[in-house]
Chains A and B, each alone.
Chain A
Amino acid sequence: DQQVKQNSPSLSVQEGRISILNCDYTNSMFDYFLWYKKYPAEGPTFLISISSIKDKNEDGRFTVFLNKSAKHLSLHIVPSQPGDSAVYFCAASGSNDYKLSFGAGTTVTVRA
């Protein structure tokens, strides 16, 4: 059972524009959410996270928004840069948990 879903397998965006990646979850026990970025032939690297007590967290060009009632979160990248071309995974965990549930990923391609 897929508890974290990323329904868009791919996204193409022009350099300088905004990239918006979406993620939905079904487990109401999840209260911590993370985004990981992955380049080919490399492992995922942590990008940004948000706790359920917040609805927004910002780090430079990256902002994550959380809508708990809708069980939905999104990652905004603005402005998008060529180096942002990668696979982005949404992940979630519950309190005091040690394992992450990952979505299937969204491949972002930033066009020059």
Chain B
Amino acid sequence: NAGVMQNPRHLVRRRGQEARLRCSPMKGHSHVYWYRQLPEEGLKFMVYLQKENIIDESGMPKERFSAEFPKEGPSILRIQQVVRGDSAAYFCASSPTGWANEKLFFGSGTQLSVL
């Protein structure tokens, strides 16, 4: 009965490199969300995906960031040419429906550190 699985737990990148964060939702969940937590702040919505579709990416920076949730395999959050300001905890969540009033199940997060 695995929960939401995120990997890696910790990712260190140098400025200009690419970061790939992976998320496998709970079994039976087809709705995936990515949130970012900067130090001393709350979680901020980035993107909402269903299988093969991006539903809302309004919280994601227009450049360098992209997300996908393919038919097979995990959801991927990709950050190209990382900068120090990208250092944060990135949380993935999943739900069986698309409504926020259905509780979200969060993974343990990926802590991205950009040197």
- State the A residues within 8 Å of B (CB): 4, 6, 9, 32, 34, 36, 41-46, 49, 51, 89, 91, 93, 96-105
- Supposing A44-B91, A98-B48 touch, asked if A32 and B101 sit within 8 A by C-beta, the answer is yes
> B34-90: which have CB < 8 Å to A?
35, 40-45, 48, 55-56, 59
Establish whether residues B91 and A98, one from each chain, have CB atoms under 8 Å apart when the complex forms: no
In the docked arrangement, what's the CA distance between A91 and B98, Å?
16
| Contact among A6, A42, A43, A51 for B101, CB-based, below 8 A | A51
- Closest CB in chain A relative to B29 CB, distance in Å: 13
Q: Are B44 and A104 in contact (CB under 8 A)?
A: no
**Complex Cα gap A4–B103 (Å):** 18
Do A49 and B99 contact each other (CB < 8 Å), given the known contacts A42-B108, A99-B33, A103-B42? no
Given contacts A42-B108, A43-B6, A99-B33, 10 further A-B contacts (CB under 8 A): A9-B40, A41-B108, A43-B4, A43-B91, A45-B106, A97-B99, A98-B31, A100-B104, A104-B41, A104-B42
Closest residue of chain A to B106 (Cβ to Cβ) is A43
Contact B99 A44 (CB under 8 A): no
Chain A residues with Cβ under 8 A from B107's Cβ?
A: 43
Q: Is B109 in contact with A101, judged by CB distance below 8 angstroms?
A: no
User: In this assembly, does B2 line the interface, its C-beta being within 8 Å of a C-beta of chain A?
Assistant: no
- Scoring B4, B91, B100, B107 by chain A CB atoms within 10 A of each residue's CB, the highest score goes to B100
